Amino acid sequence: MLAKLLMGAAALAMAPGAGAQEALPDPAAVVVPDLSGSADPAVVDNGWKYFFYHRAGTSFAEAHADLADCYRFLTPAGWGNVALPRFVPWVERPAGQRYDTNNQAGLVGLAIGGMIEGTLSRRDRQSKMRRCMEPRGYTRYGVAEEIWESVADMPPAKGIAVQAKIASGPTWGGKEPVK
């Protein structure tokens, strides 16, 4: 029990915005990807899957604070459900590693799970961010998959800054928000 409490405290301490306040990045120094192609009908149709937030009249500082607060609900790297290693040899067990003994799916189930793991991870991340950002009055606007992935793969501090600049800037593409 104590170990779980310590792990939870460590996860919270690693979350962006935890502990001492970080200096707000200079919005002029934050580089936003080109969102002009986001009005493409294929991108709009896929907007439920890949999107950024926007709220009219929001300052960079407000958007940054909201996104940093919501990022704390995402699992920090190194914590949570880590699925590695995928293969466990039957003849030996490496010291210090624990494996999921509750696997009811077998080898085929693990293979299928490996194929859809990326999709499930993205949906989990987007669901957590939606539940946090939308009640704050932010609207989702679809973007191209490559743009979303490039920002999602950034370190948290940089990704928050880029998304805050997008959320506080002008709308893009002139298209309708994602419903």
pTM: 0.66
Q: Tens digits of per-residue pLDDT, 100-123? A: 555 666 777 777 777 777 677 778
User: For strand 51-54 and strand 139-142, is the pairing parallel, antiparallel, or unpaired?
Assistant: antiparallel
Residue at 72: amino acid letter: R
Q: Tens digits of per-residue pLDDT, 6-25? A: 445 445 455 544 444 568 99
Q: Tens digits of per-residue pLDDT, 24-79? A: 999 899 999 888 777 788 877 777 788 899 999 999 999 999 999 998 887 654 44
Q: Contact, 173 vs 141, CB < 8 A?
A: yes
pLDDT at 99 over 80: no
